[in-house]
Structure formats: C-alpha cells, structure tokens
A and B are shown apart, each in its own frame.
Chain A
Amino acid sequence: KAGVTQTPRYLIKTRGQQVTLSCSPISGHRSVSWYQQTPGQGLQFLFEYFSETQRNKGNFPGRFSGRQFSNSRSEMNVSTLELGDSALYLCASSFRPRSNSPLHFGNGTRLTVT
C-alpha cells in the first residue's frame, strides 16, 4: 500500500511569488490535513479537508488556502510568499476526521523563500 505522497520535495521561491503543493493520501483515506513545521515550533495546523470540504482551519492568514478533489488528493496554495513562510509543509491522511486512527504523514515539501 503506497504511503502519503507529497510533491515536490523541495521548492525555492522568491518573496511575492505564489506556490502550490500537492498531496496524495493513502488509498481509502478521505481526510487530509496540512501542517507547517518550523524549527522549535512543532507542527502548526493549517487546515483539514474531508469529502472535498474544509472541515477545520488553523490560525494562518488568508494567503494560505487549500482544496481537496473528488479522489481525495489535496493541494495547498500560498500566495504572496514571505520569508517567514520558509518551512517544511507536511500533509497527513486518515480514514476520517476525529477518528482514533492515527495520522499518516508524507515526507513533506521543504519550501525556501528568498
């Protein structure tokens, strides 16, 4: 069974640009969550999607957005990039939200904003 796949693995962008990250969940998983990880800050929740609907959203500005497709694949977009957006972006999938089954993470996309 393939794991969670995130593309691309690495990305370098310039301030002001926009970026789209992609996540393919484990087959059969319909819930996808996105996290931002920065050194010393742990994982900060961005948003969660289930059945193509955003179910929950963290405390990030509107420049961060996402969507989920009918095949459960998800994308997140960051517009007007800032230096502080440099981070590891992790996607996680599970069967459904609020379940006892743990999240399965991809290996992340390392975004560097210069």
Chain B
Amino acid sequence: DQQVKQNSPSLSVQEGRISILNCDYTNSMFDYFLWYKKYPAEGPTFLISISSIKDKNEDGRFTVFLNKSAKHLSLHIVPSQPGDSAVYFCAASARGDSNYQLIWGAGTKLIIKP
C-alpha cells in the first residue's frame, strides 16, 4: 500500500519553462512534507519542505504547494535550468506518530531540454 505516490516516472521540460512535479498521499495524518533531489551516484539532497499548517512555501525558484483536501502536493520550478535534471522524491511524515518515519514516493525523473 503506497501511502505516497508520484505517478509520473519521468517528465521532460524545455529550459526556461516551468516544471511541475506532483505527489499524492493517502494518509490524512501526514503533517510534514519534503522534496529531495537526487543526482546519479549521489545521495538525495534536501530541497524544500512544507508543514500542513501552510499551503505554500517558496525558496528562490522552488515553490511547494499543498492541497490538504485533495491530499496533493506539487513542486514548481521556475525557470527550469539544465542543472535541475535529476530525480525528485517527495516524502511525508506524521510527526505525532509513535512509529514515526518518512514515507517516500518512487520518484520522478526530470529532464530539462536545452
């Protein structure tokens, strides 16, 4: 039972345009969400996070939107740059859960075309 789903295994976007990566979750107890970026042969690196008390968090070119009623979050990258080509993982947690752990999506491979 996948609690965090990234339904697009890959996404191709033109350089300079907006990249939108989507993530859906099923557990209504999740209250903290994160996005990580992963290059080949490297570990994931933290990108941006959002708490369930917010519906938007922005950091430079990266914005994460959270729609709690739809149990959906998205990561917007504007403008997209070649260095953004990587695999993006969303992750979620329920910080009040005694069995606390981060639940990860399967990842979306973003390809930025020049």
Contacts and interface: CB of A to CB of B under 8 A. Distances in A.
Interface of A: 4, 35, 40-45, 48, 56, 58, 90, 92, 97-98, 100, 102-108
A92 B105 contact: no
Give the interface size class of chain B.
20 to 34
A103 B106 contact: no
A98 B43 contact: no
Interface string B72-114: 0000000000000000010100010001111111110000000
Most buried by A among B6, B36, B43, B45: B43
A42 B43 contact: no
B9 to A, nearest CB: 7
A90 B43 contact: yes
A4 B106 CA distance: 23
14 contacts: A43-B44, A45-B102, A56-B99, A56-B100, A92-B43, A97-B100, A98-B100, A100-B49, A102-B34, A102-B46, A103-B44, A103-B46, A105-B43, A108-B42
B9 A107 contact: no
Contact of B41 (A98, A105, A107): A107
Interface in B1-59: 4, 6, 9, 32, 34, 36, 41-46, 49
B99 A90 contact: no
A31 B31 CA distance: 21
Contacts of A90: 43-44
Contacts of A104: 46
Contacts of A40: 9, 106
Contact of A42 (B41, B42, B49, B106): B106
B22 to A, nearest CB: 15
A92 B36 CA distance: 13
Contacts of A48: 101
A42 B107 contact: yes
Contacts of A43: 44, 89, 91, 102, 104
